[in-house]
Structure 1
């Protein structure tokens, strides 16, 4: 059983499982970036998996750890190898050039292009070619309890995902029931959507225990997805642009850290180990809380005592600060492992 009684805990464990075990039922690990709650204006996915070219992913590091938005991508991808006036070097963006000029200045501030002024003109030059680092994008919907009503509500969204084909594959992840035939197989889901069942060990330990001390979760493919990539995908510039923007957001955010939307500065906030994942735990509620519950409006919220925040080693600012540093390090470690994997 996953921690807590909401999809939030299941979602955290699915993301961690993907980071360590993707692709499913394969002994060959892929270089992947995983992000939670990411998508477009029309559609947001629970989990987005970006399968990467390791060499391209390593080359992407030259442009920093922050994401490149659409305006910055327009500049970086088209910046010339030799000095050139930016309006000669860049294709017309379809909007006023003054916005491109602002993006050029932002790119220079982040050192992802070089600029110089010649008379009244700003010239640009690339610092490196922008790499082709994205291989495939996989969308995963997390529904631990996929009963009939949940399947009906999800079916329309999955059909939209298959039709728009922004992702190359679409999956539904649900909790394993241990039945010979998983109930998810009997629900009315699009045939192109894969079904993945996950079993999690419920022996929750303290966050200080050794990495991997508990058994890893297991994932089983109940139904393989179809590749929904359009036949003309290589010629669809708009699709390539949207996918690259999505991948850049995943690169910058990684597995969106829950400490950004929760209150680790509360004296009741703890981390508990669940398999190889660290999940939030509320000592006041005595269970894993959701992001919506863990806010300043929570009746159990108590700020850390000032004495906690003023201590030095090993806390350096209080337990909440320590939790944030720990989760940031884990995100950085995941990115490093992805680059070293092929």
Structure 2
């Protein structure tokens, strides 16, 4: 079953990347997320290639995203106690916001905080690791027609120019025939082309490289500017905290028609009422087919705080946690 909607296709690309990234070369430790980027550009799928040991050190900071304000504090927190204004570089905005971030960071046990001589001091609990090796952006378009190719060409050209990502790819569905060469010619030559076939399920053999991408990272003597480095880290942190299974956060798993169905090694949402993979917009409380779980369902062995829908959310959470463990261990195998 290959979902017709681009949303369903996007989920399968995410699971493929989790299972088999890097295409054509074998597994690399990576974290996969979806619908992330900047104000100027949002990517369908984001692959964060990581150093396993450094990623394990990042996990010591917890499972939640460390946002931009907290990153400023955590990355620069000193090894010894110091007044926060002496310890941290000027943020470019009022210090009162930094002070608030120091309190939040201490509340999450990311740093240590104390007050001495009526001044707030901080020190790190552990160094924040350099865990991100590469960032890869993937645009998903199962049906690549002329108009889609024109739009994607502009978007991928933006990725090539900004060098925010280290690689840019287009993932498109194939039916056994070659992707139309005229459409591929619309794409920047620096972008890779991934031809997928999920009819037999999601696995390492479900995609082939139709065109190899160029490395968009600047030369060693050029390097990225500090602002770009910070933006990349913010994207990586959001990918770490969110992951691609967070689709349930914007859908209604508490509907009696909501299911998770297996596609090879992937679990994707399914609406039994409409017999399709729904989008987040369709799977909402305003849907004409929405039917809340009866209260009785929540008294038959399910957790007190929820019924089967809550159980499905726990399944997704556990799978995300298991993938984090696998990446931290440097294990290329996934189940």
Question: Which residue is 2:212 aligned to?
Answer: 224
**In 2 relative to 1, CA 130–280 (structure 1 residues): closer, same or farther, beyond 3 Å?**
same
Question: Which residue is 2:57 aligned to?
Answer: 59
Q: What is the CA distance between 1:186 and its match in structure 2?
A: 4.0
1:274, 1:89 → 2: CA distance?
A: 51
**In 2 relative to 1, CA 82–281 (structure 1 residues): closer, same or farther, beyond 3 Å?**
same
Question: Which residue is 2:312 aligned to?
Answer: 323
Question: Once the two structures are superposed, what CA deviation does each residue of 1:107-146 show, in whole Å capped at 9, x if it has no partner?
Answer: 1001111011111111111001110100000000000011
TM-score normalised per structure 1: 0.92
1:315, 1:144 → 2: CA distance?
A: 41
Deviates more, 1:90-99 or 1:49-58: 90-99
Question: Which residue is 1:293 aligned to?
Answer: 282
Residues 280 and 289 in structure 1, CA contact (< 8 A), matched pair in contact too: yes
Aligned residues: 329
Question: Which residue is 1:211 aligned to?
Answer: none
**In 2 relative to 1, CA 304–313 (structure 1 residues): closer, same or farther, beyond 3 Å?**
closer
Question: Which residue is 2:85 aligned to?
Answer: 87
1:37, 1:101 → 2: CA distance?
A: 31
SS in 1 for 2:223: helix
Question: Once the two structures are superposed, what CA deviation does each residue of 1:139-194 show, in whole Å capped at 9, x if it has no partner?
Answer: 00000011111101111111111101100000000011211x32267431111000
TM-score normalised per structure 2: 0.94
1:113 pairs, out of 98, 108, 111, with 111
Residues 200 and 217 in structure 1, CA contact (< 8 A), matched pair in contact too: no
Residue 254 of structure 2 corresponds to residue 257 of structure 1 = no
Residues 39 and 45 in structure 1, CA contact (< 8 A), matched pair in contact too: yes
1:248 pairs, out of 224, 227, 237, with 237
1:274, 1:30 → 2: CA distance?
A: 22
Residue 26 of structure 2 corresponds to residue 21 of structure 1 = no
Give ranges in structure 1 of 5+ residues lacking alignment. Answer: 204-213
- Counting only pairs closer than 5 Å after superposition, residues 150-165 of structure 1 correspond to structure 2 as 150-165=148-163
2:79, 2:196 → 1: CA distance?
A: 48
Question: Which residue is 1:183 aligned to?
Answer: 180
2:265 pairs, out of 263, 266, 276, with 276
Residues 216 and 276 in structure 1, CA contact (< 8 A), matched pair in contact too: no
Q: What is the CA distance between 1:316 and its match in structure 2?
A: 7.4
Q: What is the CA distance between 1:312 and its match in structure 2?
A: 2.0
**In 2 relative to 1, CA 111–40 (structure 1 residues): closer, same or farther, beyond 3 Å?**
same
1:94, 1:292 → 2: CA distance?
A: 38
Deviates more, 1:50-59 or 1:224-233: 224-233
Question: Once the two structures are superposed, what CA deviation does each residue of 1:227-275 show, in whole Å capped at 9, x if it has no partner?
Answer: 1112255351111111011111111112242111111111111111001
1:182, 1:220 → 2: CA distance?
A: 12
- Counting only pairs closer than 5 Å after superposition, residues 208-223 of structure 1 correspond to structure 2 as 218-223=206-211
Question: Which residue is 2:197 aligned to?
Answer: 199
Q: What is the CA distance between 1:202 and its match in structure 2?
A: 4.9
2:193, 2:94 → 1: CA distance?
A: 46
Deviates more, 1:104-113 or 1:62-71: 62-71
1:297, 1:84 → 2: CA distance?
A: 53
1:302, 1:11 → 2: CA distance?
A: 26
SS in 2 for 1:234: coil
- Counting only pairs closer than 5 Å after superposition, residues 296-311 of structure 1 correspond to structure 2 as 296-311=285-300
SS in 2 for 1:338: helix
**In 2 relative to 1, CA 97–319 (structure 1 residues): closer, same or farther, beyond 3 Å?**
same
1:94, 1:50 → 2: CA distance?
A: 28
Q: What is the CA distance between 1:105 and its match in structure 2?
A: 0.5
Question: Once the two structures are superposed, what CA deviation does each residue of 1:304-326 show, in whole Å capped at 9, x if it has no partner?
Answer: 11101222258973110110110
Question: Which residue is 1:32 aligned to?
Answer: 30
Deviates more, 1:304-313 or 1:89-98: 304-313
2:129, 2:199 → 1: CA distance?
A: 40
Q: What is the CA distance between 1:287 and its match in structure 2?
A: 2.1
